[in-house]
Chain A
């Protein structure tokens, strides 16, 4: 372990020495790749003057289908989800196993990331206030997609002899299609997904996070860190290294504990800021609704706003990507449906609650002073909206953003790892190689600018939705059968309430 760390330090030091102009070099090198990947994944069809990426359509149609096919499980299952999380149905004889609450908390800290602070600002900048409306709609529909994928994750997970489990889309795609006599296709889909989640983990779950953390730190430092992206990156990488390779679980555990409090703290202050601008609330809400249907000033009008909203929602709550199903697979339960039901709270918390609050903070600030943010984008824009009321706020916000980024990176390092072990087996050496690679990308993320990096990570994450949703369509009847049986037994009292 010590030798490994030393090698890593030498590597990053070498990387640091060469930093002069390295930012620009990497930017120049990645920009064309980003452009190409973006063009392929976001192949657009022009409709009524707007550019509709096929992949966004694919996700939305899927979410609408699952919502209808499962009989509005996102509404129907909501109350039951809360009593499951409260532990009302937890059998005391399996006390000590992963609880529903723990699975939810872990999955949420994986999704509550910089997207909730910065991604919303990006959506509002590009898609206008109306994008917020579509963001909420997408969050609502995404709850159903999440239900289907997390149920399947538990149902088709792989248990190993020593008792540890691996699950997620690669397993349900492979096994699910095999069951239906399409073993070859299932194998292909599982592998495709595993490759995708591995690369996606390096993008959305890694580079994008560390990049935004750096931008935010630099903003607070008043630009003192300009050109020092490599240094921030190295420090972040070293911390991630100590957790995922060094096994210093205490750091991770502390973060996992602070993140929920930071999220609550963030929402609380956001609500205070919104209330301080109380006179602008009606106008801000009106803007969201009129913008949603008129799309004034947005390229592509209402449809343009809708596309942006949907795109950002998926980026934030990850419904359709299948990542949460990897985290939920760890729960040992006789009823896969319960994990699905619990998971539908994730898009709710992430998108409908936290993203909407952020959107309102920005929206009310915009009504009060349309040019409040200057040319700030992303997290910096949200930060500026808070700063109008609390001049000291950027500091704790930067801290929150850093923690969100960190916990998202830790979660995604696991998702990527599962993709990796699916491909290369559960061997320890392979896992260490993956983890080293992951740390290197943390450092890299701080070096490249927002533009190309956001495009690449966006594109990769949307790409793995293709096999995942296709699998969900195929396996939806199985989920529906299980769901109906579960609710029947719940009603008849066969499934006991313990509290």
Chain B
């Protein structure tokens, strides 16, 4: 079975650059690509009852948007170039979810763009990429 590379996309240029690096790597090593869009979400947040009742439709539209705007176009281009590509949208804390996916799909490496986060925020919570690097079971490539 070929190696799988997990690429985290978020519609930003950074994500696109991470994908370019991953695609190059995949071509050289004959690996498959898994493109993923993680929608930041916590199962422990608080909502009004009205929001809860609308949650399902909102989730569907979030997934649809991630697929249509980011994952599908990128995947189509790569498939045209003759690569094997899988796409996946999931809700959750970004670093945590990527780690989970890496284990679940048994990937050999994670590619992620360096996400621009505000200084205050990263001072308090740390950055997503740092958290990922700390907890990932496989090598992580952070693309600036």
Residues of chain B from 23 to 65 with CB closer than 8 A to chain A in the complex = 39, 41, 43-57, 59-60, 62-63
Dominant SS at the A interface? Answer: helix
For B50, what are the chain A residues with a Cβ–Cβ distance below 8 Å?
414, 417
> Could you tell me if B41 and A110 are in contact, using CB atoms closer than 8 angstroms?
no
> Could you tell me if A106 and B47 are in contact, using CB atoms closer than 8 angstroms?
yes
**A65-95 interface mask toward B, CB cutoff 8 Å, 1 = contact, 0 = none?**
0000000000000000000000100101001
Tell yes or no: A166 within 8 A of B by CB. Answer: yes
Tell yes or no: A331 within 8 A of B by CB. Answer: yes
B117 CB to nearest A CB, Å: 21
**A91-108 interface mask toward B, CB cutoff 8 Å, 1 = contact, 0 = none?**
010011111011101100
In the docked arrangement, what's the CA distance between A99 and B43, Å? 5
Residues of chain A from 404 to 456 with CB closer than 8 A to chain B in the complex = 410-411, 414-415, 417
> Could you tell me if B90 and A95 are in contact, using CB atoms closer than 8 angstroms?
yes
For A326, what are the chain B residues with a Cβ–Cβ distance below 8 Å?
49
Partner of A330, one of B45, B49, B62: B49
> Could you tell me if A165 and B53 are in contact, using CB atoms closer than 8 angstroms?
yes
The segment from A7-15, A249-257, A292-300, A457-465 that touches chain B is A249-257
> Could you tell me if A98 and B49 are in contact, using CB atoms closer than 8 angstroms?
no
For A106, what are the chain B residues with a Cβ–Cβ distance below 8 Å?
46-49, 52
Tell yes or no: A163 within 8 A of B by CB. Answer: yes
> Could you tell me if A101 and B57 are in contact, using CB atoms closer than 8 angstroms?
no
**B67-92 interface mask toward A, CB cutoff 8 Å, 1 = contact, 0 = none?**
00000000000000000000000111
Tell yes or no: B13 within 8 A of A by CB. Answer: no
Tell yes or no: A332 within 8 A of B by CB. Answer: yes
For B63, what are the chain A residues with a Cβ–Cβ distance below 8 Å?
96
In the docked arrangement, what's the CA distance between A329 and B53, Å? 8
> Could you tell me if A330 and B91 are in contact, using CB atoms closer than 8 angstroms?
no
> Could you tell me if A163 and B57 are in contact, using CB atoms closer than 8 angstroms?
yes
Tell yes or no: A162 within 8 A of B by CB. Answer: yes
Given contacts A92-B90, A96-B91, A101-B43, contact A110 B59 (CB under 8 A): no
In the docked arrangement, what's the CA distance between A103 and B49, Å? 8
For A95, what are the chain B residues with a Cβ–Cβ distance below 8 Å?
41, 43, 90-92, 97
Tell yes or no: A109 within 8 A of B by CB. Answer: yes
In the docked arrangement, what's the CA distance between A331 and B60, Å? 14
Partner of A102, one of B45, B56, B59, B104: B45
For B59, what are the chain A residues with a Cβ–Cβ distance below 8 Å?
96-97
> Could you tell me if B43 and A102 are in contact, using CB atoms closer than 8 angstroms?
yes
Residue of B nearest to A244 (CB): B50
Tell yes or no: B106 within 8 A of A by CB. Answer: no
In the docked arrangement, what's the CA distance between A350 and B41, Å? 27
For A410, what are the chain B residues with a Cβ–Cβ distance below 8 Å?
48-49
For A105, what are the chain B residues with a Cβ–Cβ distance below 8 Å?
46-47
> Could you tell me if B46 and A253 are in contact, using CB atoms closer than 8 angstroms?
yes
Partner of A164, one of B39, B43, B45, B53: B53
For A164, what are the chain B residues with a Cβ–Cβ distance below 8 Å?
53-54, 56-57
A347 CB to nearest B CB, Å: 18
For B104, what are the chain A residues with a Cβ–Cβ distance below 8 Å?
92
For B51, what are the chain A residues with a Cβ–Cβ distance below 8 Å?
249
Residues of chain A from 93 to 136 with CB closer than 8 A to chain B in the complex = 95-99, 101-103, 105-106, 109-110
In the docked arrangement, what's the CA distance between A329 and B54, Å? 11
Of A165, A326, A417, which is in contact with the most chain B CB atoms at under 10 Å from its CB? A165
Residue of B nearest to A332 (CB): B56
A171 CB to nearest B CB, Å: 13
For B57, what are the chain A residues with a Cβ–Cβ distance below 8 Å?
162-164
B120 CB to nearest A CB, Å: 19
In the docked arrangement, what's the CA distance between A259 and B62, Å? 28
In the docked arrangement, what's the CA distance between A417 and B53, Å? 12
In the docked arrangement, what's the CA distance between A260 and B45, Å? 11
A311 CB to nearest B CB, Å: 26
Tell yes or no: A327 within 8 A of B by CB. Answer: yes
For B100, what are the chain A residues with a Cβ–Cβ distance below 8 Å?
92
Residue of B nearest to A107 (CB): B49
In the docked arrangement, what's the CA distance between A410 and B63, Å? 29
Other than the given A99-B44, A106-B46, 17 more pairs (CB < 8 A) read A90-B43, A95-B41, A95-B90, A96-B62, A96-B63, A96-B90, A97-B55, A99-B43, A105-B46, A110-B49, A163-B56, A253-B47, A330-B49, A330-B52, A330-B53, A332-B55, A414-B53
Binding site for A on B (CB under 8 A): 39, 41, 43-57, 59-60, 62-63, 90-92, 97, 100, 104
What are 8 A-B contacts defined by CB distance under 8 Å? A92-B92, A95-B41, A102-B43, A249-B51, A256-B48, A329-B53, A330-B55, A411-B48
* Chain A to chain B: the 9 pairs with minimum beta-carbon distance, closest first: A96-B91, A99-B43, A330-B52, A163-B57, A256-B46, A414-B49, A95-B91, A330-B53, A96-B59
